Amino acid sequence: MKNKSLNLTMLMDLYELTMANGIFTSDMRDTVTYFDMFFRRVPDKGGYAIMAGLEQLIEYMNDLHFDDDDIEYLKSLNLFCDEFIDYLRGFKFDCDVWAVPEGTVIFPHEPIVTVRGSAMQALMLETMLLVAINHQSLIATKANRIVRAAQGRPVMEFGARRAHGSGASYYGARAAVIGGATGTSCILSAKDFGVKASGTMAHSWVQLFADEYTAFKTYAEKYPDSCLLLVDTYNVLKSGIPNAIKVFDEVLKPLGKRPLGIRIDSGDITYLSKKARKMLDDAGYPDCKICVSNSLDEHLIRGMIAQGAKVDTYGVGERLITASSEAVFGGVYKLSAVEKNGKVIPKIKISENTAKITLPGIKIPWRLYDKETGKAIADVITLNHEKIDDSEPYEIFDPVHTWKRKVVTNFVAKKLQVKVFEKGKQVYESPSVSEIAAYCKEQVDSMWEEVKRFENPHDYYVDLSEDLWNLRNDLLRTLNKN
């Protein structure tokens, strides 16, 4: 969380430090490396994902240091030489970092974070880099699916108590807002990230009083300008809504106030919402909103809308904050190049699982947009010396089925990454969460509807430049001969 005293520098796998120690004591101490973070598969078989978590990665990189108790603990492991321990004691971060801005639509295999620096330092970043980006990108992606399912109806993040720990609750709320949620029930997140705090009442409020009517009346008297009553503690149609209407008539109407809404948290919500809407309309409260909750996700929300549910807003908790249908985002951090004597040596990882074969070299991801429609055509990953000239026709091709080729004209080419750190100094300022959320909406709007389908979305092309494709295949051929 922001302004915390906890030092997260040691939030790393042991092998990161044992490898760094080995490099420190070898002739590779000054070796410069390039590492890419990318992911291999979109969660929930979706068409795209949402980048999030960069601000927390920046905070982490800005505060990299080893405390005295960290040093003492590392010495006690008897794994590290004294010189390396001294290096850690005076540790100074000096890497270059590029990243795709938060809220950007991202696709498998393209580099979303790139780190250039000494092998020792670049290795040490792996765990926390993946923690920050994987978690929030997963939640932002899930939130965006839920928000799209709601078809313009507001979605509030209600999952703080269901999250996997306080950090997941705090940062998950942030990611949910980036993905499109209109607010969060988590007050700490709302305060720190400048987003709307949303909430109603719990069933315990209703149960505390002698009867439901008294509970509603007391609440309305305390909060006449934001009166939203939870009507399913006992019986939605027989007591909850009738008592709510009675309180609206007796407490709010004399004050010249209108009710904000009611919330239904159990039962057949589609059926209950239809009945509730008629009862409220007949009582003279057509402007009274119906908010629903109860283990919702994108599939349940789509089903409700298809069945004609009369719902104005959705409160989504556990299945959003935990991304319950997908436990892991799956981003990885892999070596892509080494600099030696001023020369770049591309590196590749080979696997029997072709999805795990990495892309070698120093790379730049681009997005091509159609000038007329503003829609994204495809992404292209090039080597860093290449430029895409959008004043000229440009041929793209499927990197697997290479005979599938297309000449793109009348387009705009944009680099996806921005520089975040230069020699350890931050050179990028994170936008506010609300600004990131607005940017995310623009990004999603730039995708064709076919890419945004929930079932069998269109495969958005992430193509390789001819030079990168040739480099990868040359390395594969060479290494397979050995």
Residues 382-428: pLDDT tens digits? 999 999 999 999 999 999 899 999 999 999 999 999 999 999 999 99
Q: Is residue 351 pLDDT above 90, yes or no?
A: no
Same domain, 179 and 299: yes
- Tell me which long-range contacts 1-5 makes (C-beta under 8 A, separation of at least 24): 1/166, 1/167, 1/170, 1/188, 1/192, 2/59, 2/192
Q: What is the CATH number of the domain that holds 114?
A: 3.20.140.10
Residue ending a domain, choose from 321, 355, 371: 321
Residue 309: inside a domain, yes or no?
yes
Q: For position 341, what pLDDT does the model report?
A: 84
Are residue 241 and residue 360 in the same domain, yes or no? Answer: no
In the prediction, which pLDDT does 212 show? 98
Asked if residue 336 has pLDDT above 50, the reply is yes
**pLDDT value at 279 more than 50:** yes
Split at pLDDT 50, 70, 90, the class of 187 is very high
Look up the domain containing 355 and give its range.
14-139+326-481
**Residue given tokens 């590392």 in the structure block:** 74
321, 344, 373: which is the final residue of a domain?
321
Report the mean per-residue pLDDT for the chain: 96
Q: Chain-centre distance of CA 93, in angstroms?
A: 26
Whether residue 276 is found in the same domain as residue 406: no
Q: Strands 32-39, 96-99: parallel, antiparallel or unpaired by DSSP?
A: unpaired
Lowest mean pLDDT among 71-85, 337-351, 416-430: 337-351
Residue 5 forms part of a structural domain = no
Letter for the amino acid at 184?
A: T
Question: Does residue 482 have a pLDDT over 90?
Answer: no
One domain for residues 149 and 181? yes
Classify residue 161 by its DSSP letter.
Answer: G
Q: Is 1 inside any structural domain?
A: no
For the segment 440-469, what is each residue's pLDDT rounded down to a tens digit?
999 999 999 999 999 999 999 999 999 999
Sequence-ordered list of residues with C-beta below 8 angstroms from that of 273, at least 6 positions apart, any chain: 264, 290, 292, 304, 309, 310, 311
How far CA 89 is from CA of 66, 84, 94, 177, 236, in Å, comes to 6, 9, 15, 39, 63
Counted domains in the chain: 2
For residue 409, is it within any domain? yes
Residue with tokens 């010495």: 75
What is the band of 3 on the pLDDT scale with cuts at 50, 70, 90?
very low
> pTM to 2 decimals?
0.96
Output the domain CATH number for residue 194.
Answer: 3.20.20.70
List Cβ neighbours of 341 (8 Å cut-off, separation of 6 or more). Answer: none
Q: State the average pLDDT over residues 218-243.
A: 98
pLDDT of res. 352: 86
Q: State pLDDT tens for residues 311-327.
A: 999 999 999 999 999 98
Residue 68 belongs to a domain: yes
Same domain, 97 and 195: no
Least confident of 46-50, 74-78, 355-359: 355-359
In this structure, the answer to whether residues 271 and 365 fall within a common structural domain is no
The yes-or-no verdict on residue 2 having pLDDT over 60 is no
3-state secondary structure of 379: strand
User: Residue 201: which pLDDT band, with cuts at 50, 70 and 90?
Assistant: very high
78 in a domain, yes or no? yes
